[in-house]
Amino acid sequence: MTTLVIGANGQIGKQFCELAHQAGTSIKAMIRNEEQAAWFKDRGIDTVVGDLEGDFEHAFEGCDQVIFTAGSGPHTGPDKTLMIDLFGAIRTADIAKQKGLSRYIMISAMRSEVPLEAPEKMRPYMAAKFAADAHLRNSGLSYVILKPGRLTDEEASQQFASSFDEAGDNQISRANVAHALLHTVQTPSVINQEYLLLDGQRAIGDIIL
């Protein structure tokens, strides 16, 4: 089974791709341009060039499932949030459905179901995630939605929580999200489930079953 990684050049995407390649898990990393290819090629990771704001349907060829971990980033405006976090995710789901992919794994966000409760500057992003998640649920695809908390750059503890009461905090390292993604990819029986992901004290296999 080959997994297309959309957002492979992002901070979570790169860590996931490296983990997956080391684990012998077949992936294809979608990158925006050839300038991003060197990091992946140095590690022996297959790449395909595709633009979420343009043509990327060809990237799905030979793939069985897709991860969406792309994001417009904190330094762009609501226009990019609309085109990448919302419309890019919707188009990805529509193409995955058309191509008959077995599963769509979405990296969403903690509390994306209540965008108006987010800080004002984060509300467009949360609204985009809310709508993209809703589209995925109603797409007819098998899906998994992972909702990480506030992201940090700490090293992977590989210890998780799935509730605020359990975690005692609202954060998770990007490295831990990458490990959770790998576990999800390697557990194809998990479908139509949503998980809050925080740093905690449990193995990911005790949360994503």
Question: What span, in angstroms and rounded, lies between the C-alpha atoms of 168 and 158?
Answer: 17
Question: What span, in angstroms and rounded, lies between the C-alpha atoms of 72 and 135?
Answer: 19
Chain mean position to CA 132? 12
Instruction: For 17-66, give the DSSP string.
Output: HHHHHHTT--EEEEESSGGGHHHHHHTT--EEE--TTS--GGGGTT-SEE
Contact 40, 29 (CB under 8 A): yes
Phi, then psi, of 190 in degrees rounded to 5: -80, 115
- Sign of the CA dihedral running 126, 128, 132, 135: positive
Chain mean position to CA 111? 16
Residues annotated as catalytic (active site), given as ranges = 125
Contacts with 10 (C-beta within 8 Å, 6 or more apart), sequence order: 69, 70, 71
